[in-house]
């Protein structure tokens, strides 16, 4: 039809109305997406801030129902657990990622890659139960060891995957240069390839940390919980997420406010980790990888 | 940069661990959420004078506590429901049930009702069966002629975890209602439409936050949260409110029976005057043979818990002290614990 | 060497799950997954209520979340200026880093009362005759759990959709636009239809994540092993029952039943994420041509 005929103009009008409607709908829905985000932040900050005080960061939990007390032991416990988990997951994860990127065509490598992918899909509670059977029962005790191992199992696939992706991007001539200089393959991998991408690899590690810092379910059956300071790796260990959970489902107002304060602390910690990651990423000029 | 951060975190935590390392032995217990308030209070008091041990107790429900004791992942368990014979058979050593306190399971509610609500056993059984669905139901009104009842739906809150409190409550229901016979235990198949929450704390939270809700919790939790609870009709036809006195009345004259049953005694639906019908003991479960170091600490604590002072503290926070004769028998049983 | 170790650990895990599940499966066979009677007291175990709960909450989450997520992705890539889309996108990503237990906390104290006081009454008053909306307003239950899941999977779906849309060549949009299409028509053809398989992959990924969520769901679902039609009734999911009952399962059969549920949850999440990855691979190949 001609550009100025009646039917065309009519149809055009309809299309324009539909266009405005749909675009409006899209914008509306997008705004809708942001609302819960703001609400969650708002409440965490408002309620958490109100209960943050010096006690919270330095005191142990008070007997049930009594006022005051803090979550100091849980914060320390979480730090211990994350550190322990990293000590296991980082070396194994980085080396696995290395192996996968260098020997990508080996049969063993494919099996490993497959395993890493599968591990990513396991619900965290299942991993918790596995560690319970593997470590808690034989040891006859809940422990930071068990909790850290469960967290390590959760961190490992993320670290391995990121390392593999990052190292795959190393241009081949760097490897060839290393080999040309007479270095053995292993030395090339460790000293040349890895060193070049170390900050990107670290980013993967830090991202995995951020994810694991908030894990609750597996810790419920491995590290359990403790009202005292964590003293050794072979004892039940308190952690921030578990303590938040226990306090949230309790009926005590005082504990509820502490739960909010704990949530604020936890979320702040994770945010800091993520922002630090982003700053490093932009240095290397890589695009974001979504995990 | 990041490696530095991680390294310093590691060093910091190791240093903190080292500096905090006491020579105190850690004793771990878990189980009944009913007993959690008294355990944590007792530990706090006990540890002020005895620094050789550090106690940790997690309220995860009587069921979980027993399981963990059997698996050896905790040193003692707290339970309001005596171990079943099948479970006791799984234990490598004999398990001693030490009665450390008594308490009441109250029917607590959140509804705009003036004054005290009176409920009979059969009405309670019907409410928790889902048969009575509204607050202004005829049967409830009959027991409370002078009270205006709201026309709200009754929302029933129960325990979703294996609970000694549930065991006590359902056992009482099985004694007052034929519908409930054989259905009691640490877990109950509640009717569709009721809510489940974890621990006494969870149920108290549900009641507190939702108008129209009714549930069963230990007295301590109802009082701590300012929740209203009903007066229950006992075997003598009296409407009794749960209190230290009415709970103690349930345990009058049962010493002989208690000893005969190794302290595993149920005192629900007592026929004593002034007795609150949903009362129970709560026990600390320990093995009769324990390793020397930990065992000594546990024995000392248990003996202290049964002392006058400790029992008075319990009384002050809404737990009833264990009757003296029973306490003495329990101390005799504790003396027989072997430490190797 | 390390590879072997890792594979061994994983092998152990699978073996443990399988071995743990055997006792209950030997007794009941596949009917375990189709029966709805769950009574640990009398050693009766049927997993259907949890499968139902998991599927229902995840579906509710998807229905609420997917349109919003896709719209947000479209908004970020097609409509918003760089000045808006950068911080907006950043905010959405930050949303994805909040731990499950914190969502649960917010859910109990903010979302559940909100649903109970403002959303449920509306439904029961006007649509109460529909079995889906029956029941007294608890505030917690399948709907609220689905709602919090929707908030949690929103960033995932948005992020993947965004990647998909960004990878569609600009030339496609320009071409359609040059033919005289309105803004919406351009988006519809060049973005949505072109990236449809990617959108599917994103949705599948979100679905998988919703099914495996444990903490927030446990805190908001009411913990009842029942199957009810009403969206406002309490329920239970596979992940939440494992988290709730594992610490206290004393009978061997009970533990075995929970292992079986864990195994099936794993297999289902695997299937869904595998499907999503398959779709992504196909899309990549198609676009590369």
Interface touch B17/A80, C-beta < 8 Å:
yes
Per-residue pLDDT at B19 exceeds 50: no
Question: How confident is the prediction for chain B on average, in pLDDT?
Answer: 85
Q: In this complex, do B2 and A199 lie within 8 Å of one another by their Cβ atoms? A: yes
Non-local CB neighbours of C169 within 8 Å, separated by 6+ positions = none
- Which residue reads 């026929």 in tokens? B271
d(CA C199, CA C184): 17
Tell me what pLDDT residue B147 has. 87
Output the pLDDT for position C137: 67
Assign B10 a pLDDT band (cuts: 50, 70, 90): low
Q: Which of A81, A123, A210, A214 to mutate to test the interface with C (most CBs of C within 10 A)?
A: A123
Would the CB atoms of C41 and B61 count as touching at under 8 Å? Answer: no
**Tens of pLDDT along C200-239?**
888 888 888 888 888 888 888 877 887 877 778 888 899 8
Segment 187-206 of chain C within 8 Å of chain B by CB:
none
The model's confidence at residue C136, banded by pLDDT at 50, 70 and 90, is low
Task: Residue A251: list chain B partners with CB under 8 A.
Answer: 201, 204-205, 208, 221, 224-225
Of A162, A157, A160, A155, which Cα lies nearest the Cα of A81? A155
Nearest to C234 among B70, B196, B212 (CB): B196
List the 245-264 stretch of C: residues with Cβ below 8 A of B.
245, 247-250
Full DSSP string of chain C: -HHHHHHHHHHHHHHHHHHHHHHHHHHHGGGGGT----BGGGTB---HHHHHHHHHHHHHHHHHHHHHHHHHHHIIIIIS-HHHHHHHHHHHHHHTTS-HHHHHHHIIIIIHHHIIIIIHHHHHHHHTTSGGG-S---S-SHHHHHHHHHHHHHHHHHHHHHHHHHHS-HHHHHHHHHTT--HHHHIIIIIIITTHHHHHHHHHHHHHHHHH--HHHHHHS-------S-TTS----HHHHHHHHGGG--SHHHHHHHHHHHHHHHHHHHHHHHHHHHHHHHHHHHHH-
A98: confidence class by pLDDT, cuts 50, 70, 90: confident
Which of these, A269, A247, A246, A264, lies nearest to A78 by C-alpha position?
A269
Stronger pLDDT, B309 or C224, i.e. the higher one: B309
d(CA C241, CA C239): 6
Specify the fold of C2-288.
Answer: MetI-like fold (1.10.3720)
Share of chain B above pLDDT 90, in %: 24
- A140 and B73 within 8 Å at the Cβ level: the answer is yes
Sorted by sequence, the CB contacts under 8 Å of residue A287 that are 6+ apart come out as none
pLDDT of residue B17: 46
Label residue A136 by pLDDT band (50, 70, 90).
confident
In chain B, the percentage of residues whose pLDDT exceeds 70 is: 93
∠ CA(B16), CA(B21), CA(B26), 5° rounding? 125
Does A11 contact chain C (CB < 8 Å)? no
**How many other CB atoms are found less than 10 A from the CB of residue B96?**
22
Task: Indicate if the alpha-carbon torsion angle A167, A178, A285, B10 is positive or negative.
Answer: positive
Q: What is the pLDDT of residues B90-130, one digit of tens each?
A: 888 889 999 999 989 999 999 988 888 999 999 999 999 98
Determine the Cα–Cα distance for residues A162 and A206; give it in Å rounded to an integer: 11
CA dist B63 and B80 (Å) reads 10
Cα(C200)–Cα(A3) distance, integer angstroms: 38
pLDDT band at B200 (very low <50, low <70, confident <90, very high): confident
A254 touches B at CB < 8 Å:
no
Spatial separation of the C-alpha atoms in residues A78 and A226, rounded to whole Å: 12
Note whether B195 and B157 are within 8 A (CB): yes
CA C252 to chain centre: 30
Q: What is the pTM assigned to this prediction?
A: 0.83
- Residue count of chain A, please give it: 291
Q: How many residues are listed for chain C in this entry?
A: 289
Q: Inform me whether the C-beta atom of residue C243 falls under 8 Å from chain B C-beta atoms.
A: no
Encoded tokens for B154: 């009754």
- Test C159 with A95 for CB contact under 8 angstroms: no
Q: Which helix (H) or strand (E) holds B173?
A: helix B164-176
Residue A283 predicted with pLDDT over 60 = no
> What pLDDT, on the 0 to 100 scale, is given for residue B20?
44
Cβ–Cβ contact A195 with B under 8 A: no
Top pLDDT among A15 and C137 is at A15
Q: Which residue, among B4, B7, B14, B17, would best test binding to A if mutated, counting the most A CBs under 10 Å from its CB?
A: B17
Contacts of C113 in chain B (CB under 8 A): 209
* Mean local confidence (pLDDT), B11-25: 54
In tens, the pLDDT along B52-101 reads 888 999 888 888 889 889 888 899 999 988 888 888 888 888 899 999 99
- Between the alpha carbon of residue C164 and those of residues C177, C192, C199, the distances in Å are 19, 10, 7
- Among A58, A64, A163, the strongest candidate for a mutation testing the B interface, having the largest count of B CBs within 10 A, is A64
pLDDT value for C93: 77
- CB contact at 8 A, A229 and A59: no
| SS3 call for B187 | coil
Lowest mean pLDDT among A182-191, C132-141, C254-263: A182-191
Q: Which of A199, A206, A229 sits opposite B20 (nearest CB)?
A: A229
Those residues with Cβ within 8 angstroms of residue C271's Cβ, 6 or more apart along the chain or in another chain: none
Share of chain C above pLDDT 90, in %: 7
> Cβ contact (<8 Å) for B187 and C135?
no
- Residue contact A270–C97, C-beta within 8 A: yes
Contact list, B54 vs chain A (CB under 8 Å): 228, 231
Q: Do C245 and A112 form a contact (C-beta atoms < 8 A)?
A: no
Average pLDDT over residues C153-178: 83
For the cut 60, the answer to whether the pLDDT of residue B204 exceeds it is yes
- Region of residue A8 (left: phi > 0; alpha: psi -120 to 50; beta: else): alpha
**Token digits for C184?**
């919406």
Contact assignment for A137 to B6 by CB distance below 8 Å: no
Q: What integer is the mean pLDDT of C91-115?
A: 85
Q: What is the ipTM of this complex?
A: 0.82
Identify which has the larger pLDDT, B33 or A180: B33
Helical spans, DSSP H, in chain A:
6-51, 54-58, 72-102, 107-121, 124-131, 137-139, 144-168, 172-180, 185-187, 195-196, 198-213, 217-220, 240-248, 253-284
């Amino acid at each position: 039809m001609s550009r100025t005929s009646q039917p065309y103009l009519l149809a055009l009008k309809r299309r324009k109305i539909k266009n405005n409607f749909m675009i409006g709908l899209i914008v509306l829905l997008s705004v809708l997406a942001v609302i819960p985000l703001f609400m969650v932040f708002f409440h965490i900050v408002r309620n958490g801030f109100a209960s943050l005080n010096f006690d919270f960061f330095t005191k142990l939990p008070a007997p049930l129902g009594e006022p005051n007390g803090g979550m100091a032991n849980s914060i320390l416990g979480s730090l211990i657990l994350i550190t322990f988990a990293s000590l296991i997951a980082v070396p194994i994860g980085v080396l696995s990622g290395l192996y996968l990127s260098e020997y990508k065509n080996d049969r063993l490598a494919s099996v490993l890659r497959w395993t890493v992918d599968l591990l990513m899909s396991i619900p965290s509670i299942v991993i918790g139960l596995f560690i319970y059977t593997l470590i808690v029962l034989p040891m006859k005790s809940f422990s930071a060891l068990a909790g850290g191992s469960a967290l390590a199992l959760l961190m490992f696939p993320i670290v391995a995957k990121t390392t593999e992706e990052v190292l795959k991007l190393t241009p081949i001539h760097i490897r060839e240069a290393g080999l040309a200089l007479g270095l053995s393959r292993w030395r090339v991998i460790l000293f040349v390839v890895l060193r070049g991408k170390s900050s990107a690899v670290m980013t993967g590690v830090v991202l995995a940390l951020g994810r694991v810092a908030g894990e609750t379910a597996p810790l419920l059956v491995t590290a359990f919980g403790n009202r005292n300071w964590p003293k050794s790796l072979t004892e039940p260990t308190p952690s921030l997420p578990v303590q938040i959970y226990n306090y949230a489902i309790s009926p005590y107002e005082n504990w509820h406010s502490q739960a909010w304060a704990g949530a604020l602390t936890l979320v702040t910690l994770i945010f800091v980790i993520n922002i630090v990651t982003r700053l490093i990423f932009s240095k290397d000029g890589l695009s974001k990888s979504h995990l | 940069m990041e490696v530095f951060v991680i390294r310093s975190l590691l060093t910091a935590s190791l240093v903190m661990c080292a500096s905090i390392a006491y020579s105190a032995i850690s004793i771990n217990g878990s189980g009944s959420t009913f007993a959690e308030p008294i355990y944590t209070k007792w530990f706090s008091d006990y540890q002020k004078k005895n620094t050789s041990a550090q106690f940790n107790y997690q309220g995860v429900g009587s069921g979980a506590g027993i399981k963990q004791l059997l698996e050896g992942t905790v040193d003692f368990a707290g339970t309001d429901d005596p171990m079943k014979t099948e479970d006791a058979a799984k234990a490598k050593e004999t398990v001693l049930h030490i009665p450390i306190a008594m308490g009441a399971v109250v029917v607590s509610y959140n509804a705009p009702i003036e004054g005290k609500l009176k409920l009979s056993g059969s009405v309670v059984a019907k409410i928790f069966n889902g048969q009575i669905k509204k607050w202004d139901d005829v049967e409830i009104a009959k027991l409370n002629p002078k009270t205006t009842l709201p026309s709200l739906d009754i929302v029933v809150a129960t325990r979703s975890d294996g609970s000694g409190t549930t065991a006590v409550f359902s056992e009482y229901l099985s004694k007052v209602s034929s519908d409930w016979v054989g259905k009691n235990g640490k877990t109950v198949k509640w009717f569709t439409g009721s809510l489940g929450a974890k621990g006494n704390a969870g149920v108290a939270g549900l009641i507190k936050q939702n108008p129209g809700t009714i549930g069963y919790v230990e007295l301590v939790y109802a009082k701590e949260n300012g929740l209203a609870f009903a007066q229950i009709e006992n075997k003598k036809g009296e409407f009794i409110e749960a209190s230290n006195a009415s709970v103690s009345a349930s345990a009058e004259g049962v010493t002989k029976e208690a000893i005969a049953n190794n302290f595993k005694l149920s005192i629900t639906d007592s026929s004593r005057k002034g007795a609150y019908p949903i009362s129970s003991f709560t026990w600390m479960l320990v093995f009769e043979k324990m390793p020397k170091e930990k065992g000594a600490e546990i024995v000392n604590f248990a003996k202290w818990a049964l002392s006058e002072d400790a029992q008075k503290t319990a009384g002050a926070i809404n737990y009833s002290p264990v009757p003296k004769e029973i306490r003495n028998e329990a101390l005799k049983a504790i003396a027989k614990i072997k430490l190797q | 060497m390390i590879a072997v170790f890792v594979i061994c650990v994983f092998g152990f895990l699978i073996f443990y799950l399988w071995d743990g599940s055997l006792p209950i499966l030997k007794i009941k066979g596949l009917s375990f997954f189709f029966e709805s009677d769950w009574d640990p007291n009398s050693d009766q175990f049927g997993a259907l209520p949890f499968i139902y709960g998991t599927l229902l909450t995840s579906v509710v989450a998807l229905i609420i979340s997917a349109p919003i997520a896709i719209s947000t992705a479209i908004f970020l890539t097609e409509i918003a200026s760089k000045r808006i889309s950068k911080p907006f996108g950043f905010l959405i990503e930050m949303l994805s880093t909040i731990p499950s237990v914190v969502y649960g906390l917010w859910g109990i104290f903010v979302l559940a009362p909100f649903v109970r006081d403002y959303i449920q009454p509306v439904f029961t008053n006007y649509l109460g005759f529909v079995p889906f909306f029956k029941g007294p307003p608890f505030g917690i239950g399948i709907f609220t759990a689905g709602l919090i899941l929707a908030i949690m999977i929103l960033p995932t779906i948005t992020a993947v959709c965004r990647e998909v849309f960004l990878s569609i060549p600009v030339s496609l949009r320009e071409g359609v636009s040059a033919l005289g299409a309105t803004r919406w028509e351009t988006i519809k053809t060049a973005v949505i239809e072109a990236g449809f398989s990617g959108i599917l992959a994103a949705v599948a990924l979100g679905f998988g994540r919703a099914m495996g969520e444990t903490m927030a769901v446990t805190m908001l679902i009411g913990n009842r092993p029942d199957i009810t039609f009403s969206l406002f009734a309490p329920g239970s999911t596979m992940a939440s029952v494992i988290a709730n009952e594992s610490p206290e399962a004393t009978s061997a059969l009970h533990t075995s039943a929970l292992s079986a549920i864990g195994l099936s949850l794993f297999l289902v999440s695997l299937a869904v994420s595998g499907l999503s990855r398959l779709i992504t691979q196909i899309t990549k190949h198609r676009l590369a041509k």
